[in-house]
């Protein structure tokens, strides 16, 4: 079965640079969530989109923005990167109100 | 404030034994309770989930027990195997396509 696709899988950036993470949800899933997971921590919700509209917002820094496109893929844009942004970034998708969220393999972002 | 409290932090179980992980929540609006399994460097994988209309759900070796009045739910892994060694997260959300709130995770080690 098709799963959530994330790219790139690994990304190394320097402080103050920008990064763009991409997420391709499972086919026919219309909701995308972004989570950030630090080492040894639980995933923390950043932002979500339903039918291309922002649906919920969590602890996402103002330096980050995201959107969902007409084909339902989503991009997380991160600017003025800080060392503390180093983490695993997961995208999850679900189908409408069914609620089951399926996670992608993640993007490991390292800021040096 | 941790909305979902998970215990224990770590657990060592003999092969063939039963692994039990507990979670408690405060928000009575929560009505969807999934469990995720995560291997190092991988995305969380949905194991099993329950809604408050049932007190127990079983899928293979995995069982969720749910106590609505106590606002607690637990994961039981029967006949634990070394391949089950991973970090397990409980989570909760309030209806359908809303962000998940995770517990802090339990690192399970199954030893032969």
> pLDDT (tens digit, 9 = 90+) per residue, B17-46?
999 999 999 999 999 999 999 999 999 999
Q: Which of B19, B37, B14 is nearest to B74 (CA)?
A: B19
Chain B residue at shortest CA distance from A48:
B99
Distance CA A97, CA B45 (A): 19
User: Which pairing describes strands B33-38 and A5-7: parallel, antiparallel, or unpaired?
Assistant: unpaired
DSSP class of residue B93 equals: B
Q: What is the pLDDT of residue B96?
A: 58
Mean per-residue pLDDT over chain B, rounded:
95
Under the banding of pLDDT at 50, 70 and 90, the label for residue B12 is very high
Q: Is there a contact between A16 and A111 (Cβ–Cβ < 8 Å)?
A: no
Contact B99 A33 (CB under 8 A): yes
CA distance, residue A46 to nearest chain B CA (Å) = 9
H/E stretch holding A35 reads strand A31-37
pLDDT of B80 strictly over 80: yes
Under the banding of pLDDT at 50, 70 and 90, the label for residue A87 is very high
Cα separation values, A77 from A21, A29, A53, A66, A74, Å: 7, 21, 16, 6, 10
Contact B102 A94 (CB under 8 A): no
- Selected for mutation to probe chain A from B44, B51, B59 (highest A CB count within 10 Å) is B44
Token pair of B105 as six digits: 């995770």
Q: What is the pLDDT of residue B94?
A: 87
User: Does residue A31 sit at the B interface (CB-CB below 8 Å)?
Assistant: yes
pLDDT of A67 strictly over 70: yes
Residues of B with CB below 8 A from A92's CB?
A: 100
User: Does residue A10 sit at the B interface (CB-CB below 8 Å)?
Assistant: no
pLDDT of A39 strictly over 90: yes
CA distance, residue A98 to nearest chain B CA (Å) = 5
Q: What is the mean pLDDT of residues A1-24?
A: 97
Under the banding of pLDDT at 50, 70 and 90, the label for residue A65 is very high
Query: Which one of A45, A98, A105 has the shortest CB-CB distance to B100?
Result: A45
């Amino acid at each position: 079965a098709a799963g959530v696709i994330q790219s790139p899988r690994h990304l190394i950036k320097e402080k103050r640079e920008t990064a763009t993470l991409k997420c391709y949800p499972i086919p026919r899933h219309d909701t995308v969530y972004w989570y950030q997971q630090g080492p040894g921590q639980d995933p923390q919700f950043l932002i979500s989109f339903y039918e291309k509209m922002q649906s919920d917002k969590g602890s996402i820094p103002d330096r980050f923005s995201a959107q969902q496109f007409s084909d339902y893929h989503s991009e997380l844009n991160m600017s003025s990167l800080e060392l503390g942004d180093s983490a695993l970034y997961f995208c999850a998708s679900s189908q409408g109100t069914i609620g089951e969220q399926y996670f992608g393999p993640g993007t490991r972002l390292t800021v040096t | 404030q941790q909305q979902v409290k998970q215990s224990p932090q770590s657990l060592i179980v003999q092969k063939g034994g039963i692994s039990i992980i507990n979670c408690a929540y405060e928000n009575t609006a929560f009505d969807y309770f999934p469990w995720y399994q995560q291997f190092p460097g991988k995305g969380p994988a949905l194991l099993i989930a329950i809604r408050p209309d049932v007190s127990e759900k079983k899928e293979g070796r995995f069982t969720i027990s749910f106590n609505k009045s106590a606002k607690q739910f637990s994961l039981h892994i029967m006949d634990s195997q070394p391949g089950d060694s991973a970090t397990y997260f409980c989570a909760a959300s309030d209806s359908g396509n809303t962000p998940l709130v995770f517990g802090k995770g339990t690192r399970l080690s199954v030893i032969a």
